[in-house]
A and B are shown apart, each in its own frame.
Chain A
Amino acid sequence: MTATSVKRRQTFAVLLAAVAGPAEAHLVETGFGAFYDGLAHVALTPSDVLVVVALALLAGQGGARTARWTLLALPMAWLAGGALGALQPLEASLPVLTTLTFCTAGALVAFNSKLSAGAVVMLSAIAGLLHGYVTGATLTPGGAGALGVAGSVTAVFCLFAILAAQVTTIGAPWGRIALRVAGSWLSAAGLLMLGWLARGSA
């Protein structure tokens, strides 16, 4: 490993540590094994569910092409982040960053931002890396490891696919409005959460 590479890694670790909150392990043991523990982990982690919902709304709002590319990008990024988290876990849950992801995606939905497919994919990849990283870092010390990460990626894929597919079929004007309202709710919840985090109550 070169000196530059080591320096880059150190900088990345310092940046993550700067926005890190204490790690709170909340691995739920389903009794069906690590894969299902990973599945359940996503379902029981509100910020994970909210980011997938927000990104599904955003991608679906952008049309079938955007949704298809995001369906590929989000789980892949989640897997990459999960692997990184499993290999190099940081004792942190990065709550500010994982809140910013769904807060931003929700706001973009609320404002009907009409982002390009590339921009949505990019945002989804960043969100997937972050949430995947936290998932991997949480699951691995709990013993779920690679299978757990695979379970969480499967949950993300399924939830995103179902939601985004539904959203792309919405044609009625009231349906598009309902989407934007949902986006504003997600973003508003994220804003309040950022406040709780700043106050140290979350």
Chain B
Amino acid sequence: MVLALAPALAGAHEEAGQAAGFLAGLVHPVSGLDHVLAMIAVGLWGAVLGVPAIWVLPVAFPLVMALGGLLGLLGVQVPAVEIGIAVSAIVLGSMVLGAVRPPLWVAALIVAFFAIFHGHAHGRELPEGTSALLYSLGFVIATGLLHAVGILLGVMHRWDLGRRIVRAAGAGVALAGLFFLWRAVS
């Protein structure tokens, strides 16, 4: 009984930071408006382009974004990352605004190019003491869900009024991109 009142702490068998890492990863993409708008624009553009771009772009983006993050973690420098992120919002927003329909490979290339900047800037900010794997998973899932938001909004593109709303959203993203660009160069 006396021994039971003075148990030793078993500290060797705990895995800390799992849930915190996942939540931090989920929250991180939403914490920067530049990332949020560009991700939504990817989904919007995919919806405007229709099948198969509607799913090719959201499949390609996380992979290339992770590649950008990997480059950052390996210490490979990507020039003008903040400018690249701002330009991504301008370009993607403009594509949605103008309902531009390039060949699929061109659209995928544009999205993949900008994904490198987003991954490089955001994919390597691991909070202290959290699980790197679950942080990465949360980060990728949140980014994918932002694409899904864009796709769902983009579905409105089927109707006349919806088309105007989607184009207005594209204009908003492009304008915000201009602001981010001004902030990045000043």
Contacts and interface: CB of A to CB of B under 8 A. Distances in A.
Interface of A: 24-29, 44, 46-47, 50, 99, 107, 110, 142, 177, 180-181, 183-185, 187-199, 201-202
B117 to A, nearest CB: 15
Contact of B126 (A24, A29, A181, A201): A201
Interface string B47-86: 0000000010011101101110111111100000000000
Contacts of A25: 12-13
A156 to B, nearest CB: 18
A181 B144 contact: yes
A46 B144 contact: no
Contact of B59 (A28, A180, A192): A180
B133 A185 contact: no
Interface-central residue, B12, B55, B65, B133, by most chain A CB under 10 Å: B133
B13 to A, nearest CB: 5
Contacts of B67: 191
A199 B13 CA distance: 25
Nearest to B58: A181
Contact of B136 (A44, A142, A196): A196
B76 to A, nearest CB: 10
B140 A192 contact: yes
> What DSSP secondary structure best describes chain B's contact surface?
helix
A6 B70 CA distance: 38
B66 A189 contact: yes
Contacts of A196: 73, 126, 132-133, 136
Contact of A188 (B10, B65, B131): B65
Nearest to A180: B59
B131 A191 contact: no
B137 interface: yes
B58 to A, nearest CB: 6
B124 interface: yes
Given A195-B124, A196-B136, A181 B59 contact: yes
A55 to B, nearest CB: 16
Question: Chain B interface residue count: which class?
Answer: 35 or more
B123 A46 contact: no
B30 interface: no
Interface-central residue, A29, A44, A184, A195, by most chain B CB under 10 Å: A195
Contact of A184 (B10, B13, B63): B63
A49 to B, nearest CB: 10
Contacts of B65: 188
Ranked nearest first, the 9 interchain pairs of A and B with the lowest CB-CB distance are A195-B73, A188-B66, A192-B136, A191-B66, A202-B132, A26-B15, A196-B132, A188-B62, A195-B70
Contact of B73 (A29, A184, A189, A199): A199
Contacts of B141: 185
B45 interface: no
B108 to A, nearest CB: 13
Nearest to A199: B73
B70 A46 contact: no
B141 to A, nearest CB: 6
A189 B74 contact: no
A111 to B, nearest CB: 9
A189 B137 CA distance: 5
A159 B169 CA distance: 42
Interface string B129-170: 001111011011100100000000000000000000000000
5 contacts: A142-B13, A188-B136, A191-B67, A195-B69, A195-B72
